[in-house]
Amino acid sequence: AAPVAFLGGISRAARAGIIVRSTQALEQLARARSVAFDKTGTLTSGTPLVGAIVLAPMAAPLTEDEVLGLTASAEQYSTHVLAAAIIAEAARRGLALHPASGAQEFATDGVRAEVAGTTVAVGKRRFVERLVGPVPDPPLSPGETAVYVGVGERFAGCILLRDALRGTAPSTIRSLVALGVREVLMLTGDVEATARPIAREAGVDTIHTDCLPGDKVEIVRNLPERPVIMVGDGVNDAPVLAAADVGIAMGARGSTAASESAEVVITVDDLAKVGEAVLIGKRTLRIAL
Ligand code: ADP
Ligand code: MG
């Protein structure tokens, strides 16, 4: 390969807001046969909005604002996009947050903290059920995410959030297929009921739900169509970005850990740059080989 052409490709990519850290990464982009996307913050906007707050029947019921205030107080210690959305909704309603102590964040599960003299657990169903026992299904609309809230030993309710698909997701996926990508996947820590409608809207056929960070790594390592590009944004995506043949971090609003683990960082908040990166790779390779 002619190094000069590769350097040209890398600098053309940089001008487009795509940092490519090595010539090998540029070559893998050009040859990629599979592209796996994280859902939250990658295929979706990453700025979810709180829709409804569903209160659980309790002996001494809490109000919506009380549940939201306790949840937001615990979420102050989380870097998850859902935490930011919940805190923003509490601020919008003018709620004062409580100081929280002993906060612990559990990767892809949620947060637990002592707030106003009780333990507040916020996150996935099974995580909250560990504290409060079995909880009922919330009335989810397609694509909505439920964040479960336990207060003390009681289930207090769910906060339902909606995270819109990025407008450019369907066209980005179509252009990747047009560029020769044979398999497009979604890997998510979220549940099937939330993820399936979003995948359908994006035009992704294969989805893997309820993924822990290690599950995403296993799936990417075992994909038959290679090289594999993984596109992600979150702290939890760092291992899978490193495990893919090329990791692409959505760096504009994503986590530092994701950007540091990826060979390619997109510095503008635009998913279409994933297709552009592959195109620049292909153009460069045609020149270089
Ligand atoms: P993805 O893999 O699609 O980016 P994540 O694994 O980051 O998704 O999150 C999936 C689910 O984990 C969320 O829908 C939520 O139920 C739960 N979760 C993780 N952390 C938190 C948190 N800090 N607050 C609320 N929910 C959380
Ligand atoms: Mg994510």
Q: Give the ipTM of the model, two decimals please.
A: 0.96
Report the nearest-CA residue for atom 13 of ligand 1.
190
Residues 218-229 have pLDDT tens digits of 999 999 999 999
Element (H, E) at 38: strand 34-38
- Which pLDDT score is estimated for 2? 64
Q: Which residue reads 């002592």 in tokens?
A: 114
What pLDDT, on a 0 to 100 scale, did the predictor assign at position 58?
85
Give the whole-angstrom CA distance, residue 16 versus residue 197.
31
Gap between the Cα atoms of 254 and 231, Å rounded:
11
Give this prediction's pTM. 0.91
Tell me the CA–centroid distance for residue 200 and ligand 1, in Å: 20
Which residue has the least CA distance to atom 25 on ligand 1? 123
Q: How far is the C-alpha of 162 from the C-alpha of 284, rounded, in Å?
A: 40
Give the long-range contacts of residues 231-234, CB within 8 A, separation 24 or more: 231/35, 231/36, 231/37, 231/38, 231/42, 231/271, 231/274, 232/37, 232/38, 232/42, 232/258, 232/262, 233/38, 233/40, 233/41, 233/42, 233/46, 233/258, 234/38, 234/40, 234/41, 234/80, 234/81, 234/258
Ligand 2 geometric centre to CA of 57 (Å): 32
Sheet holding 183-187, edge to edge: 18-20, 264-266, 246-250, 228-232, 34-38, 183-187, 206-208
The pair phi, psi for residue 106, each rounded to 5°, is -110, 120
pLDDT above 90 as % of the chain: 85
CA-nearest residue, atom 4 of ligand 1: 40
Cα–Cα dist 213/123, whole Å: 16
- Using CB atoms within 10 A of its CB, is residue 280 exposed (0-12), middle (13-18) or buried (19+)? buried
Position 254 scores a pLDDT of: 85
1: pLDDT strictly greater than 80: no
CA of 81 to the centre of ligand 1 (A): 8
Residue type, 77: Y
Residue located via tokens 């020769």: 180
Q: Where are the beta strands (DSSP E) in 129-222?
A: 145-151, 154-162, 183-187, 206-208
Q: What domains does the chain contain, in order, with CATH numbers?
A: 3-45+165-288 (3.40.50.1000), 49-162 (3.40.1110.10)
| Mean per-residue pLDDT, 160-168 | 96
What is the best residue among 147, 148, 163, 255 to mutate for testing ligand 1's pocket, by most ligand atoms within 8 Å of CB? 147
Residue 39 Cα: closest atom of ligand 1: 3
Q: Encode pLDDT of 20-39 as tens digits.
A: 999 999 999 999 999 999 99
Ligand 1 atom 26 nearest Cα: 123
205 band by pLDDT with thresholds 50, 70 and 90 = confident
What pLDDT is stored for residue 46 in this prediction? 84
Confidence of residue 79 (pLDDT cuts 50, 70, 90): confident
pLDDT tens digits along 265-277: 999 999 999 999 9
Q: At residue 278, what are phi and psi to the nearest 5 degrees?
A: -65, -40
Q: Residues with Cβ within 6 A of ligand 1? A: 38-41, 75, 78, 80, 82-83, 108-111, 122-124, 145, 147, 188-190, 234, 236
Question: Nearest 10 degrees: CA dihedral of 119, 121, 127, 130?
Answer: 30
Contact 111, 78 (CB under 8 A): yes
Q: Is 38 a catalytic residue?
A: yes
